[in-house]
A = this chain, B = another copy of it.
Amino acid sequence: MYLTDEKVVVLGAAGAIGSNLAQTLLASGTTSNVGMYDPFAKGLEGTAEELYHCGFPNANVTWSDDIGEALTGASYIISSGGAPRKEGMTREDLLRDNAQIAKQLGLDIKKYCPELKFGIIIFNPADITGLTALVHSGLEPSRIATLAALDSTRLQTKLSQHFNVLQSKVTGCRTYGGHGEQMAVFKGGIKIDGVSLEGVLNGQTANGIGMSAEEWADVQAHTRGGGARIIGLRGRSSFQSPAQQSVFMLRGVLGESYEWPSGAYVNTNGMNHIMMGMPATLSSDGIRYTMPEGTQDDLNALKESYEHVVALRDEVIGAGILPPLSEWGASNPHLA
Encode A22-65 as 1/0 by CB contact (under 8 A) with B. 01100111000000000000110111011111111111110000
| B168 and A241 contacting across the interface, CB-CB below 8 Å | no
Q: Which of A151-159, A191-199, A200-208, A325-333 contacts B (4 or more CB under 8 A)?
A: A151-159
Binary per-residue interface labels of chain A (65-94) against chain B in the complex, 1 for a CB within 8 Å, 0 otherwise: 000000000000000000000000000000
| Residues of chain B within 8 A of A52, CB atoms compared | 153-154, 156-157, 160, 167
Whole-angstrom distance from the CB of A110 to the nearest CB of chain B? 31
Alpha-carbon distance between A50 and B233 when the two chains are bound, in angstroms: 10
The tally of residues in A whose CB lies under 8 Å from a CB in B reads 52
Closest residue of chain B to A161 (Cβ to Cβ) is B52
B residues in contact with A156, CB < 8 Å: 52, 55
Is A142 interfacial (CB-CB < 8 Å)? Answer: no
Q: A46-B233, A50-B234, A55-B245 are in contact. Are A60 and B166 (CB under 8 A)?
A: yes
How many copies altogether?
2
> Closest CB of chain B to A170's CB: distance in Å?
11
- A153/B241 contact (C-beta < 8 A), A24-B27, A27-B247 known: no
B residues less than 8 Å from A24 (CB atoms)? 23-24, 27
Chain A binding surface SS class: helix
Picked from B23, B46, B47, B49, the residue with its CB within 8 Å of the CB of A244 is B23
Write the A228-241 contact mask toward B (1 if CB under 8 angstroms, else 0). 01101111001111
| A interface residue numbers (CB < 8 A to B) | 19-20, 23-24, 27-29, 42-43, 45-47, 49-61, 149-150, 152-154, 156-157, 160, 166-168, 226, 229-230, 232-235, 238-241, 244-245, 247-248, 260
Q: A20-B20, A58-B168 are in contact. List 12 more A-B contacts (CB 8 A).
A: A20-B23, A27-B244, A28-B29, A46-B232, A49-B226, A50-B234, A50-B240, A52-B153, A52-B167, A53-B157, A53-B241, A55-B245
